[in-house]
Structure 1
């Protein structure tokens, strides 16, 4: 009964946080037939500011980290982000009735990182007096961006192949003759270039570059940081209204997202734990660092992911990827933190 009460309390706490509260508020307004809308140029400006902020913070963290000590954990973080998306591509995105685009967007969010979940893990370790490396925050962009870019590229490749197959079945030849058959290197390169040039990824990369090679701390602290939560709440309100309008698409496959949202954080967390152990044996990565890498892998993005997916994959349904990640994945990830602490204590100690 205590476990059930803890889960219910955690879910309620998540619903009271701005990310999910404004999402639900937007859905409620749409359900009541409200005519409220945010002009598209305003929405795009908000997304640009949010992603620049995330990129700047990541770039500053990487610049201030010990790059030699960071190398192996960063490679592990990037590998985890990619593998999580590939796993989601082969499971959720292939589930009967699940839209390929929705499945890939969801996998992308689960491969990316929740800053709030990571902060919760750090707070628990601090309370126990457990050491972890100061550069842990710098691992965030390596897992986050690789997962998001991988998901977007795979989703667009799938859409291109589907379109090519449709054209061929209608008797129309496709450019290059590759169509939906096998690996098309030219198509992959084109999609990669388009992805990196897309507004969402471009803003992230620009923010990281400025954070790495310039000194944006003053403008970051005085402008981006104070505006961040308020802008994020407006973004989630917009996504909530859009999610309600597309909720009917999920009714027949809602069980797939519930199952994925409840099980994926544990599977992904164990992947992070395993690669954290590898980094520990190779470089002496601390037990606290292993815990936090597992928590990052278990978490799902609630900040950088939604606006990135909304900008790069507008066809994807927000009620699928935000609902399963923030609504289900985040509570499970937070509740799993003691599990990863116990596993590290049993295997390598603190």
Structure 2
């Protein structure tokens, strides 16, 4: 387990993230232009989506795939209830903010998943391509749970948008549209079709991910330094929840028979916290919730913790539970 964690921490993608953190804490003027950061984000989501679709076209849809999808959806719906209880009791947050933050900790972070896939692949434990579909399926259930916990579905008090409008925002979010669209393209094209664009999506993937994580390190550290709404209790929760959720997700993956890489990927999805799609949905559905709390917790605390520490721990735990057998396609 120690060797796996060290291998994760010395990965170039993680080290570039550390460089971004250090540069921001040193108050360097290093910055990635917003247009370039947006382009890198689109490239990474398209790449992970199409490669997942190609892998799915090879393996097909079987009981393992359906079990993973069902488990992911159930976890996305149920994990916010545990987070809500912790946020209300230990975190001392009010009902609205507890529900909003809880939604983030049942949903997923695409960038955390992409980073984990790259790290797991470098460890010869590449997750099954179907995990991209599991990732996309976990987004909406957590948002619904967060709304239910905050004040019930369909409420429009205090100027909140309707549940229908909120769900439209979620399912038309650029990351979800691109991921699912690229996934479908990969399934339809298969290996033969993907061969035509392989140089573009394979050769530059690791380098783009390194620069993208450099930018994420800069953003996370600068938001952390600017935040005034985060207490020590919320900081502890932002580290505690990904540990517990990661253990639960990895354990569920092993229990339903996933290989080590796919079980670790499910653990990472459960451990991650959304900082793109869910904040957008919360702005519509719970405008009175404090973005300074849920964005800082998910982006500036949980995201760095997952990248620097938790992915390696989850990978090692998955190997322990499964014996490292059955590496995904």
1:336 is aligned to 317
2:172 is aligned to 197
1:188 is aligned to 163
1:313 is aligned to 279
Unaligned runs of 5+ in 1: 1-5, 125-135, 168-173, 180-185, 277-288, 345-350
Structure 2 residue 77 is matched with structure 1 residue 78: no
Structure 2 residue 141 is matched with structure 1 residue 150: yes
CA contact (8 A) 1:244 1:319 kept: yes
**Pairwise CA distance, 1:47:** 0.8
Within the candidate set 243, 246, 262, 1:265 is matched to 246
CA contact (8 A) 1:43 1:235 kept: yes
Which deviates further from its counterpart, 192-201 or 114-123? 114-123
Give the 5 Å matches for 1:73-222. Answer: 73-94=64-85, 95=87, 96=91, 100=98, 101-109=100-108, 113=113, 114-116=116-118, 118-119=120-121, 123=125, 137-151=128-142, 167=158, 174=159, 187-214=162-189, 216-222=193-199
Aligned length: 294
- Please tell me whether Structure 1 or Structure 2 has the larger radius of gyration of its CA atoms: 1
Determine helix, strand or coil for the equivalent of 1:137.
coil
Within the candidate set 294, 301, 308, 2:263 is matched to 294
CA contact (8 A) 2:81 2:149 kept: no
Classify 1:325/1:105 alpha carbon distance in 2 versus 1 (closer, same or farther; 3 Å): farther
Determine helix, strand or coil for the equivalent of 1:107.
coil
**Pairwise CA distance, 1:141:** 1.9
Aligned-residue CA RMSD in angstroms? 3.8
Give the whole-Å Cα distance in 1 for the aligned partners of 2:169 and 2:12.
32
Classify 1:342/1:20 alpha carbon distance in 2 versus 1 (closer, same or farther; 3 Å): closer
Within the candidate set 211, 236, 241, 1:234 is matched to 211
**Pairwise CA distance, 1:53:** 0.7
CA contact (8 A) 1:81 1:146 kept: yes
CA contact (8 A) 1:117 1:295 kept: no
Q: Deviations over 1:239-280 (max 9, x none)?
A: 21121122245452222233223333222222223333xxxx
Unaligned runs of 5+ in 2: 281-290
